[in-house]
Amino acid sequence: MPRMTTDLLARCTGHARRKRDETTEQFLRRITHLYCSEKGIDKIEGLLKCSNLSVLYLYDNMISQIENLSSCPSLTHLYLQNNHIRQMANLSTLHRLTKLYLSGNAITVVEGLEGLPNLNELHIANQRLPEGEKLLFDPRSLLAVSETLLVLNVSGNGLDSIEDFTCLKELKQLYACDNELSSMKGLSRVLVHLSMLTKLELAGNPVCQKHKYRDRIITMGVRICMVDGKEVSDTERQFLVNWKAIRRARRKNQTQVTDPLTNIETIPTAKQILHKGPPPLTMPALPPRQLPRRIKQHSSPRHGYLTQQLSHNIVATHHERSKQSGSIKLPDIVSTYAAQSVTMDFKRKIVDSLSPIKNPSAQTHVVPVLHK
């Protein structure tokens, strides 16, 4: 296996050229970039002379451990993709590191980021994990970079949730393609916290098959301008925001209905939503003999039929209540029962379940409630 000797490093400096009267050590001390990718290197070494090194390319090698980087305090970019690294270690001395590339290794736990106060990008996609396992994240490491991390790539790591990333308040780009994400609710809980997110890549996840997936993502992320490689136009965003506002207003208007006999709040039925009665009418409390006539005046033909006996029961039940409240909303009383009456059998069942008020032996008569 090739080793990172002084001669090898001197040949991997890219466009930098050694001066005529300059020694190799002086040259290495001056360089800022080293291109040691695809060299078959299995160990990081020989960097003691590279004190001004800022960018180190070591991808596509045979490296199994991160080590011997303490002599490069000025390092800002570290490329270690497609090696055999199993553990994230020995990074605490790289205080100036801003970009870390570790995709295509065999790392099982994201850790050791506590000493990287300036880390902006972390690329750790497509780890070679044991079958059935997923990439894990140390909460302490994520918290340590929560104020600086802007780009995170965790694609292809078997993740079924990204709720660990809620602490990354400054995150602007999240790549989580080809995972096992399937819950829109889980995504919504994350996107609420990632208020700075502008780009989201989730292609290849089961959640992408959900109904109106893209629309829901756009409405959940107020700053997202790119979803799965497709730009979000201002027109599309404004349309979806307006659509969401209309839906919220409709849900707010669908107030709960109170049963006038049992005082139990029930969810409005489809017929009640589609066939709403006239606007609510508030009036002073009426005596029992006048309330049936007022009900008849303020009822709609769409409400169908209302039995006379049911009217008397409504009067008897609400008379005492009206004395205390001082007012009765007539359409609420009528629509609760009349709007739910669909068939004559259903009306008769309601009437039979009510105890008669005046004459128990009197036959129930079903009369139409007409609208003037």
| pLDDT surpassing 70 at residue 202 | yes
Structure token digits, residue 317: 């039940």
Question: Mean pLDDT for the chain?
Answer: 78
Q: In which band, very low, low, confident or very high, does the pLDDT at 343 lie, cut at 50, 70 and 90?
A: very low
Q: In which band, very low, low, confident or very high, does the pLDDT at 20 lie, cut at 50, 70 and 90?
A: confident
Q: Hey, CA dihedral for 106, 109, 110, 114, is it positive or negative?
A: negative
Which residues share a beta bridge with 79?
Answer: 57, 101
| Confidence at residue 296, expressed as pLDDT on a 0 to 100 scale | 58
- 24 CB contacts (<8 Å, ≥6 apart)? 6, 7, 10, 18
Q: Hey, CA dihedral for 38, 44, 48, 52, is it positive or negative?
A: positive
Structure token digits, residue 349: 């069942």
| Confidence at residue 135, expressed as pLDDT on a 0 to 100 scale | 96
| Confidence at residue 14, expressed as pLDDT on a 0 to 100 scale | 84
pLDDT tens column, 167-188 = 999 999 999 999 999 999 999 9
Domains and CATH numbers, the chain: 6-249 (3.80.10.10), 257-368 (no CATH)
| pLDDT surpassing 70 at residue 16 | yes
| Confidence at residue 17, expressed as pLDDT on a 0 to 100 scale | 83
Write down the residue that tokens 């029962």 correspond to.
337
Q: In which band, very low, low, confident or very high, does the pLDDT at 103 lie, cut at 50, 70 and 90?
A: very high
For 1-34, give the DSSP string. Answer: -----HHHHHT--TT----TT--HHHHHHH--EE
pLDDT tens column, 119-148 = 999 999 999 999 989 999 999 999 999 999
Question: Minimum mean pLDDT among 29-38, 227-236, 339-348: which range?
Answer: 339-348
Q: In which band, very low, low, confident or very high, does the pLDDT at 370 lie, cut at 50, 70 and 90?
A: very low
pLDDT tens column, 210-241 = 988 998 898 888 889 999 999 988 888 888 88
For the chain, give the percent of residues with pLDDT over 70: 68
| pLDDT surpassing 60 at residue 362 | no
> Average pLDDT of 289-298?
58
Whole-number Å distance between alpha carbons of 152 and 111: 14
> Average pLDDT of 271-290?
53
For the chain, give the percent of residues with pLDDT over 90: 47
Question: Minimum mean pLDDT among 101-110, 132-141, 317-326: which range?
Answer: 317-326
User: Is the pTM above the cut of 0.85?
Assistant: no
Find out whether 72 and 51 touch, Cβ atoms under 8 Å: yes
| Confidence at residue 267, expressed as pLDDT on a 0 to 100 scale | 52
pLDDT tens column, 240-265 = 888 778 877 887 777 554 445 444 44
